[in-house]
Chains A and B, each alone.
Chain A
Amino acid sequence: MAGTPEEHADKKNIGIKINHLDLTVPEGITILEAAHKAGVKIPTLCHLDLHDIKMVNKTASCRVCMVELVDSKNNRNKIVPACVTKVSEGMEILTSSLRAITTRRMSVELLLSNHPNECFTCPKNRECELQALAAELGIREIRWEGERMDYPKDLSSGAIVKDSNKCIYCRRCETMCNEVQTCGILSGIGRGFDAHVGPAFNIPMVESSCTYCGQCVQVCPTAALTEVNHTDKVWEALNDPDKHVIVQTAPAIRVTIGEMFNMEPGTIVTGKLVTALKRMGFNTVFDTDFGADLTIMEEAAELIYRLNNNKTLPMLTSCCPAWVKFIEHQFPELLDIPSTCKSPHIMFGTIIKTYYAEKNGIDPDNIVIVSVMPCIAKKAETKRPELTKDEHNNVDIVVTTRELGLMIKEAGLDFESLPDSEYDKPLGETTGASVIFGTTGGVIEAAIRTAYEWITGGELKKVEFEQLRGAAGLRKATVQVGDKTLRIGIASGLGNARTLLEEIRDGKAEYEAIEIMACPGGCIAGGGQPYHHGNFEIVKKRQEAIYQEDRNKKIRKSHENSEILKLYKEYIGEPFNDTAHRLLHTHYEERERI
């Protein structure tokens, strides 16, 4: 609920009654907030308060939180929405009167009268807030049968599915897309019965400037916005005897996938995850952390190259494909500042289909690489033409944490009781530096750990850079590296990224290095992660777990990963050389803003 105690500290207290109970509450809060303080639950649907990332959806469009206000003077009680009605002195509120209950129930029945009855086959089955609400309010029949929406499903992006027939017009996605991510892709369109949410001119998502960050998917209460499901492709590959199927899991998966099996948020399940993947039949189970270590080698080398040769600064990290697409659409004039490094899973895919394939005598055409990602944008990233060179896709299939969770269930594995096992060698060795890629601040900290030792030639005594950590969406810090002071900016959430980029474009601030992650909080809160249903405490626990996993690692700097060093010695040569450019770097292009 909104409103920390400090915020209300200077507010006057007033007396109100909720369900005949006398209460003293701060002036100016909503009935919903007051009820929450009093331990009274009022059901909500469109309302969403993500205080930590400064997003509050207050469209009051669903009419599910209706309560009765007593007006004994005129003997005419009123029905009002609790989420936007503020308390006033002497207010008497009834949340469970017959009238309040029947009004709320009718609101849900009306929503359901124009909602596809396909819970059985719906991707949000058991995750849907409308479904949960119908159960909670005891809806047993839908009394009205009327006209229904009939929009085609938009699968054009290959990443996000927009199914407007399931839209209840809560407009959480619009608030997220416009106010938090500042992409402005989704807007309310049309009026009356034809009203729906979509991009400008009803263009398909693929033609819009959507970054596919998937934060709209995270907040959608129904299945109006979901990810494109690629699990069948994975099952097909696993059951094809001619294919050598290699899976890699992103840093942020090990601290979130447990939630798919009702484990405590923040439980580290790395060993169980590897066992599950092996039992599902993957030929080889690798860790994207290896790709992250490789990224650090290249990114730190690129940063040092730019610092020493008076090249464009700041350097921006490029691991996040949603962020990359954002800058291509929104700031095409700044395309020379992101690092040219491919993202870690794409780098790793390239190394598997070249170095690893050669070494093990496997035809790269028979290798299928599956990336398990916390991310929806990675699905679209793998289809970028420059990343599908030489007829080999660097990565063939991307599934999200949620999709893998469902596959593990489908495979009949009792995840919680699985024993631990280790990632496969040789490309399974990883460091603490690569684990923290999963959280905001982690990529830049990992890069600094390496850049520090390369620049100074000395050993870094304390690998933790506390000044780079935190949960705030926009952070600035300086790190002293030898005689150089590096000014560092960190943004998570595209709105915060926009603020940083505008400062850079307008010459208002100078930085040497910047880390950007599209999702508020970083990959631990990615669009493909288990639904947090608005509870950001879950994301904080995931972040703690990531740092714990870093502390658990023997090696915590990417350039000390022995398999990485071997890869450079045997195959690439020096970081940032021609071979590295050919295999591990990419380029960006200007895109239209619609």
Chain B
Amino acid sequence: MTKPQAIDVNPSFKENLPKEKFDELDSFVNNLETTRSALIEILHKAQKIFGYLPRDVQLHIARKLGIPGAEVFGVVSFYSYFTTKPRGKHTISVCTGTACFVKGSDKIIERVKEKLGIGSNEITEDGLFTLKDVRCLGTCGMAPVMMIDDKVFGRVKEEDLDNIINSYRNKEL
């Protein structure tokens, strides 16, 4: 059984979405030679500016380009690169591909969920971490593998997790 992709119908985020960011996006769009076929490029830029693509940003782009909001959302929901939820400062990606799974990555991700108190694709209350379960990071020889931002952690053991996560927490202190 599968459910529609859970996408929060975000209440207006306007208070968290500063006008300067919209201005930055608008000037990017205005400087494009043409907006035809430029939707994906514009969405990339928007995600870079805002960190994610909330409803208001998608609607803003739709209206700016004169295309239906459903079309923008159709593209955003198609590509897994785009996210409609705010990301934490650090993204923890736990590989659940075949090799990692065989090496027990299911237990790793469960432990991470417990330690952070969140599920997959969720953000911790302090805004520090987002957890993602991903397929194959391309380093199966190091299974089970997880990544935090761009750093790869191989042959991860459950007992290592506290140290790894805390090293990022401590950076904030």
Contact = CB atoms under 8 A, between A and B. Distances in A.
Interface of A: 147-151, 164, 178, 183-191, 193-194, 196, 198-203, 207-208, 593-594
Interface in B92-149: none
9 interchain residue pairs of minimum CB distance: A184-B68, A187-B70, A200-B69, A187-B74, A200-B73, A200-B70, A150-B1, A191-B78, A190-B77
A188 to B, nearest CB: 5
Interface in B28-59: 55, 58-59
B67 to A, nearest CB: 7
Contact of A201 (B2, B63, B67, B73): B73
Nearest to B69: A200
B150 to A, nearest CB: 26
A184 B78 contact: no
A201 B74 contact: no
Contact of B69 (A149, A184, A196): A184
B173 interface: no
25 contacts: A147-B1, A147-B2, A148-B1, A151-B3, A178-B71, A184-B70, A184-B71, A185-B70, A187-B68, A187-B73, A187-B74, A189-B5, A189-B77, A190-B77, A190-B78, A191-B79, A194-B2, A194-B5, A198-B4, A199-B70, A200-B62, A200-B70, A200-B72, A201-B7, A201-B69
Nearest to A149: B2
A164 B3 CA distance: 11
A184 B2 CA distance: 26
Contacts of A187: 68, 70-71, 73-74
Given A200-B73, A593-B63, A190 B68 contact: no
A414 B101 CA distance: 66
The secondary-structure label for the interface of chain B is: helix
A190 B5 contact: yes
Nearest to B1: A150
A201 B5 contact: no
Contacts of A183: 68
A594 B1 contact: no
A328 to B, nearest CB: 16
Nearest to B62: A200
B2 A150 contact: yes
A202 B3 CA distance: 12
Contact of A185 (B1, B55, B63, B68): B68
A190 B72 CA distance: 12
B4 A151 contact: yes
Given A189-B77, A191-B77, A202 B5 contact: yes
Contacts of B79: 191
Contacts of A194: 2, 4-5
A149 B3 CA distance: 7
Contacts of A164: 4
B102 to A, nearest CB: 23
A200 B68 contact: yes
Contact of A203 (B5, B9, B63, B71): B9
A189 B74 contact: yes
B9 A202 contact: yes
Nearest to B84: A201
Contacts of B9: 201-203, 207
A189 B71 CA distance: 8
Nearest to B72: A200
Contacts of A594: 59, 69
A187 B79 CA distance: 15
A71 B170 CA distance: 67
Contacts of B71: 178, 184, 187
Contacts of B70: 184-187, 189, 198-200, 208
Nearest to B70: A187
Contact of A188 (B67, B69, B74): B74
A151 B63 CA distance: 29
Contacts of B69: 184, 200-201, 593-594
